[in-house]
Amino acid sequence: MKDSDKILATLKHVSLALEKRQILQDISITLEAGKVLTIIGPNGAGKSTLLRILLGLQKPDAGEVTRKPGLRIGYVPQSISIESTLPLTVARFVALGGKGNVKEVLAELRIAHLAKSAIQSISGGEFQRVLLARAIMRKPDLLVLDEPAQGVDVMGQGELYDRISTLRQRYGFGVIMVSHDLHLVMEKTDQVICLNQHICCHGVPDDVSRHPEYKRLFGDMPDSGLAVYTHNHDHAHDLQGNVVHSKDCDHG
Amino acid sequence: MKDSDKILATLKHVSLALEKRQILQDISITLEAGKVLTIIGPNGAGKSTLLRILLGLQKPDAGEVTRKPGLRIGYVPQSISIESTLPLTVARFVALGGKGNVKEVLAELRIAHLAKSAIQSISGGEFQRVLLARAIMRKPDLLVLDEPAQGVDVMGQGELYDRISTLRQRYGFGVIMVSHDLHLVMEKTDQVICLNQHICCHGVPDDVSRHPEYKRLFGDMPDSGLAVYTHNHDHAHDLQGNVVHSKDCDHG
Amino acid sequence: MDEFIIRAMIAGSLVAAVAGLLGVFVVWRRMAFFGDTLSHSALLGVAIGMLLNIGFMVGVVASTLLVGIILFLFQRQQRVSNDALLGILAHSGLSLGLIALSFVQTQNVNVEEWLFGDVLSVTWDDVTWIALTLVLVVGVMAWLWRPLLTLTVDEELARVEGVNAGLVNLVFVGLVALLVATAMQVVGALLITALLIIPASAARSFAKTPEQMALFAAVIGVVSVFIGITASLLLDTPAGPSIVFSSAMLFFMSQITRVLKAA
Amino acid sequence: MDEFIIRAMIAGSLVAAVAGLLGVFVVWRRMAFFGDTLSHSALLGVAIGMLLNIGFMVGVVASTLLVGIILFLFQRQQRVSNDALLGILAHSGLSLGLIALSFVQTQNVNVEEWLFGDVLSVTWDDVTWIALTLVLVVGVMAWLWRPLLTLTVDEELARVEGVNAGLVNLVFVGLVALLVATAMQVVGALLITALLIIPASAARSFAKTPEQMALFAAVIGVVSVFIGITASLLLDTPAGPSIVFSSAMLFFMSQITRVLKAA
Amino acid sequence: EEKPLIVSTIRPIQAIVVAITGDNVETKQLIPDFASPHQYSLKPSEIRLLNKADLVIRIDDHLETFLEKSMRSLDLEKLVTLSTVKGLTLLSANHDHNDHEEAEHDEDAHEKESSHEDEHHHDEDHEQLKAEDTDYHLWLSPSNAVLIAANIRDRIIAIDPSNKESYESNTQQLIDSISETDKAIIETLAPIKEMPFLVMHDAWQYFTNHYGLNQLDSITLQERLKPSAKALSKARQTITDSNVRCIVTELGFKLKTLRVLTEDIDVNTTEIDPMGRQIKLSKQAYPALLDYTAKQLVECLTHTTTKK
Ligand SMILES: Nc1ncnc2c1ncn2[C@@H]1O[C@H](COP(=O)(O)OP(=O)(O)OP(=O)(O)O)[C@@H](O)[C@H]1O
Ligand SMILES: Nc1ncnc2c1ncn2[C@@H]1O[C@H](COP(=O)(O)OP(=O)(O)OP(=O)(O)O)[C@@H](O)[C@H]1O
Ligand SMILES: [Mg+2]
Ligand SMILES: [Mg+2]
Ligand SMILES: [Zn+2]
In this structure, are residues B176 and B145 in contact, taking their beta carbons and an 8 Å threshold?
Answer: yes
| B59-80 pLDDT, tens digit each | 999 999 999 998 999 999 988 8
Strand partners, E117: none
Distance between CA atoms of residues D224 and D230, nearest Å = 10
For chain C, what is the largest distance between any 2 Cα atoms, rounded to a whole number of angstroms? 61
DSSP notation for B111-172: -GGGTTSBGGGS-HHHHHHHHHHHHHHT--SEEEEESTTTT--HHHHHHHHHHHHHHHHHH-
Whether residue E104 has pLDDT greater than 50 = no
Whether ligand 1 lies within 6 angstroms of the CB of B123 is answered as yes
pLDDT band of residue E124 (cuts 50, 70, 90) is very low
Give the pLDDT score at A220. Answer: 52
C-beta atoms surrounding B200 within 10 Å? 26
Give the pLDDT score at B60. Answer: 94
A67 touches chain D (CB under 8 A): no
Ligand 4 centroid to residue B185 C-alpha, Å: 16
Question: Which ligand has the nearest atom to the CA of B58?
Answer: 2
Question: Which ligand has the nearest atom to the CA of A40?
Answer: 1
Residue type, E115: S
| Ligand 2 atom closest to the CA of B50, numbered from 1 | 18
| Ligand 1 atom closest to the CA of A50, numbered from 1 | 18
Whether residue B230 has pLDDT greater than 60 = no
SS3 A102: helix
Q: Where are the beta strands (DSSP E) in chain E?
A: 5-8, 26-29, 55-58, 79-81, 90-92, 102-103, 134-135, 197-199, 246-249, 268-271
Give the neighbor-by-neighbor strand order of the sheet with E79-81. E26-29, E5-8, E55-58, E79-81
pLDDT band of residue A46 (cuts 50, 70, 90) is very high
Whether ligand 2 lies within 6 angstroms of the CB of A230 is answered as no
Of D109, D112, D236, the CB nearest to E228: D236
E114 touches chain C (CB under 8 A): no
Burial (0-12, 13-18, 19+ Cβ within 10 Å), B2:
exposed
Kindly report the CATH class assigned to B1-72+140-221: alpha beta
Across residues C136-141, what is the average pLDDT?
A: 94
SS3 B89: strand
E-chain residues within 8 Å CB-CB of C130?
A: none
Give the pLDDT score at B214. Answer: 65
Whether residue D69 has pLDDT greater than 80 = yes
**Mean pLDDT lowest for which of A104-118, B89-103, E75-89, E157-171?**
E75-89
- Residue D239 belongs to a domain: no
Whether ligand 1 lies within 6 angstroms of the CB of B151 is answered as yes
Whether ligand 2 lies within 6 angstroms of the CB of A113 is answered as no
**Alpha-carbon separation of residue D5 from C171, D2, E41 (angstroms):** 46, 6, 38
**What's the sign of the alpha-carbon dihedral B114, B120, B123, B126?**
positive
Domain that holds residue C108: 3-188
In this structure, are residues A158 and B224 in contact, taking their beta carbons and an 8 Å threshold?
Answer: yes
Whether residue B209 has pLDDT greater than 90 = no
Q: E142: closest CA among E290, E298, E295?
A: E290
Whether ligand 1 lies within 6 angstroms of the CB of A81 is answered as no
Of B72, B89, B97, the CB nearest to C208: B89
Whether residue E106 has pLDDT greater than 50 = no
Q: How far is D145 from chain A (nearest CA, A)?
A: 11
Of E36, E43, E229, the CB nearest to D108: E36
C-beta atoms surrounding E173 within 10 Å? 15
Angle C61-C67-C70 from CA coordinates, rounded to 5°: 140
Burial (0-12, 13-18, 19+ Cβ within 10 Å), C174:
middle
- Residue C233 belongs to a domain: no
Across residues D113-135, what is the average pLDDT?
A: 83
Distance between CA atoms of residues E33 and E267, nearest Å = 30
The tally of domains found in chain D comes to: 1
ipTM > 0.85 (yes/no): no
Whether residue A221 has pLDDT greater than 60 = no
Distance between CA atoms of residues C120 and C6, nearest Å = 9
Ligand 5 centroid to residue E280 C-alpha, Å: 20
pLDDT band of residue B227 (cuts 50, 70, 90) is very low
Q: C202: closest CA among D173, B87, A20?
A: B87
Distance between CA atoms of residues C159 and B56, nearest Å = 9
**Alpha-carbon separation of residue D20 from B116, D6, D128, D204 (angstroms):** 45, 21, 20, 12
C150 touches chain D (CB under 8 A): no
Cβ neighbors of B32 (< 8 A, separation 6 or more) are: B6, B7, B8, B174
C-chain residues within 8 Å CB-CB of B133?
A: none
| Element spanning C180, H or E | helix C165-187
Q: Where are the beta strands (DSSP E) in chain B?
A: 7-18, 21-32, 36-40, 62-67, 73-76, 142-146, 174-178, 191-196, 198-203, 244-245
**Alpha-carbon separation of residue A110 from A148, A166, D140 (angstroms):** 15, 16, 38
In C, residues 51-90, which contact B (CB 8 Å cutoff)? none
Ligand 4 centroid to residue B144 C-alpha, Å: 12
Q: A47: closest CA among A161, A206, A156, A185?
A: A185
E72 touches chain C (CB under 8 A): yes
Give the pLDDT score at E194. Answer: 85
Strand partners, E27: E6
Neighbours of ion ligand 4 (CB under 5 A): A 123-124; B 48, 78
Backbone angles phi, psi at A196, to 5 degrees: -150, 80
Whether residue E225 has pLDDT greater than 80 = no
- Residue D26 belongs to a domain: yes
- Residue D222 belongs to a domain: no
Give the pLDDT score at D110. Answer: 57
**Alpha-carbon separation of residue A152 from A99, A124, A218 (angstroms):** 26, 8, 22
Neighbours of ion ligand 3 (CB under 5 A): A 48, 78; B 123-124
| B75-101 pLDDT, tens digit each | 999 888 888 889 999 999 999 998 889
Whether residue A244 has pLDDT greater than 90 = no
Dihedral angle over CA of B68, B72, B76, B79, nearest 10: 80
SS3 B195: strand
SS3 A222: coil
Q: D181: closest CA among D75, D57, D92, D89?
A: D57
- Residue C7 belongs to a domain: yes
| D8-38 pLDDT, tens digit each | 999 999 999 999 999 999 999 988 888 888 8
| C191-227 pLDDT, tens digit each | 888 999 999 999 988 898 999 999 999 999 999 999 9
Please state, for a pLDDT cut of 70, what percent of chain C lies above it.
Answer: 91
- Residue D246 belongs to a domain: no
Distance between CA atoms of residues D132 and B145, nearest Å = 58
E38 touches chain D (CB under 8 A): no
Whether residue D102 has pLDDT greater than 70 = yes
Distance between CA atoms of residues D186 and D177, nearest Å = 14
Whether ligand 2 lies within 6 angstroms of the CB of B232 is answered as no
Do the chains contact at D120 and E227, CB–CB below 8 Å? yes
| Domain CATH code at residue D159 | 1.10.3470.10
B81 touches chain D (CB under 8 A): no
In this structure, are residues B35 and B191 in contact, taking their beta carbons and an 8 Å threshold?
Answer: yes
Question: Which ligand has the nearest atom to the CA of A46?
Answer: 1
Residue range(s) of every CATH 3.40.50.300 domain in chain A? 1-72+140-221
Ligand 1 centroid to residue A62 C-alpha, Å: 18
Do the chains contact at C80 and D204, CB–CB below 8 Å? yes
Whether residue A223 has pLDDT greater than 50 = no
| Ligand 2 atom closest to the CA of A123, numbered from 1 | 17
Distance between CA atoms of residues C201 and C155, nearest Å = 22
Q: Where are the beta strands (DSSP E) in C119-253?
A: none
Whether residue D39 has pLDDT greater than 50 = yes
**Alpha-carbon separation of residue D173 from C71, D64, D150, E165, E288 (angstroms):** 28, 10, 16, 69, 53
Query: Searching chain C, which residue's CA lies closest to the CA of residue A61?
Result: C263
Distance between CA atoms of residues E14 and E20, nearest Å = 10
Give the pLDDT score at D123. Answer: 85
A81 touches chain C (CB under 8 A): no
| C142-187 pLDDT, tens digit each | 999 999 999 999 999 999 999 998 899 889 988 988 888 888 777 7
Across residues A80-109, what is the average pLDDT?
A: 91
Residue B78 DSSP code: S
SS3 E284: coil
Distance between CA atoms of residues A146 and A133, nearest Å = 14
| E256-302 pLDDT, tens digit each | 777 778 888 888 888 888 888 888 888 888 899 999 999 988 888 88
B-chain residues within 8 Å CB-CB of D80?
A: 85
| Ligand 1 atom closest to the CA of B127, numbered from 1 | 26
Q: How far is B54 from chain D (nearest CA, A)?
A: 21
Distance between CA atoms of residues C165 and C147, nearest Å = 8
Whether ligand 2 lies within 6 angstroms of the CB of B120 is answered as no
Do the chains contact at A84 and C84, CB–CB below 8 Å? no
Q: What pTM does this model have? A: 0.86
pLDDT band of residue B220 (cuts 50, 70, 90) is low
B79 touches chain C (CB under 8 A): no
What average pLDDT is seen over chain E? 78
Pairing type for strands A198-203 and A191-196 reads antiparallel
Q: Which residue has the higher pLDDT, E149 or E249?
A: E149
Burial D161-180 (b: 16+ CB within 10 A, else e): bebebeebbbbbbbbbbbbb
Instruction: Report, in this order, helix, strand and coil percent for chain B, each rounded to 5.
Output: 35, 25, 40
Question: Which ligand has the nearest atom to the CA of A125?
Answer: 2
**Mean pLDDT lowest for which of A90-94, B225-229, E64-68?**
B225-229
Whether residue A236 has pLDDT greater than 50 = no
Across residues A39-60, what is the average pLDDT?
A: 93
Whether ligand 2 lies within 6 angstroms of the CB of B77 is answered as no
B-chain residues within 8 Å CB-CB of C213?
A: 87
What average pLDDT is seen over chain B? 81
Distance between CA atoms of residues D10 and D122, nearest Å = 10
pLDDT band of residue B228 (cuts 50, 70, 90) is very low
Backbone angles phi, psi at A74, to 5 degrees: -110, 125
In this structure, are residues A116 and A90 in contact, taking their beta carbons and an 8 Å threshold?
Answer: yes
